[in-house]
Amino acid sequence: MKKYYSSIISLMGMLLIVGVASMLDIWMDHLKKIALSEFKVLSNWLLPATIVEFLFAGLLLVWLWYISNKDSNHPVVNIILILVGLGLLFYNYLASVSGLPLPMWLSIVPNSLSSFASAFVAMVGLQRLVFKKIKL
């Protein structure tokens, strides 16, 4: 049961990372709009955005540490990581080409924190699927 528990926590961490990245994208966009409308300069927006990106990189490293040290290298979990990461990364393109509805909460803009988080999740899943877990 412990093996499945750690896999569930790693999948929940993946959803948390992508969700936090999406919310931070929305927050930084609002902060940028406020800085431009009230102050007419972007300098008041740069410091909080940089701090947020630094803290988000730390969150990614904590998740990577957990799944590399505590989680079992289960192929199903790795395939889920790949599919979710790539699905979120390419959903905007697929929705625009096929005419699918594009919900606002699922909209991931290229070169945003959420797109980088989705790409990171997909690459971690691919790396864990291809390479075996190394005992240190």
**Confidence at residue 104, expressed as pLDDT on a 0 to 100 scale:** 59
Q: Is the torsion defined by CA of 102, 105, 106, 107 positive or negative?
A: positive
Angle at 10 between CA 78 and CA 77, to 5 degrees: 20
**Confidence at residue 61, expressed as pLDDT on a 0 to 100 scale:** 93
Percent of the chain residues topping a pLDDT of 90: 18
77: Cβ–Cβ under 8 A, 6 or more apart, which residues?
7, 10, 11, 71, 125, 128
Q: How far apart are CA 29 and CA 136, in angstroms?
A: 42
Name which residue leads in pLDDT, 99 or 70.
70
**Confidence at residue 58, expressed as pLDDT on a 0 to 100 scale:** 94
State phi, psi for 101 to the nearest 5 degrees.
Answer: -70, 145
What number of CA atoms fall less than 13 Å from residue 91's CA on the CB side? 19
> pLDDT of 79-88, one tens digit each?
999 999 998 8
Tell me the pTM. Answer: 0.80
- The lowest-confidence range among 3-7, 19-23, 40-44 is 40-44
**Confidence at residue 54, expressed as pLDDT on a 0 to 100 scale:** 92
Average pLDDT, the chain: 81
Q: Is the pLDDT of residue 57 over 90?
A: yes
**Confidence at residue 136, expressed as pLDDT on a 0 to 100 scale:** 44
What is the C-alpha R_g of the chain? 17
Burial 8-29 (b: 16+ CB within 10 A, else e): eebbebbeebbebbbebbeebe
Q: How far apart are CA 12 and CA 86, in angstroms?
A: 17
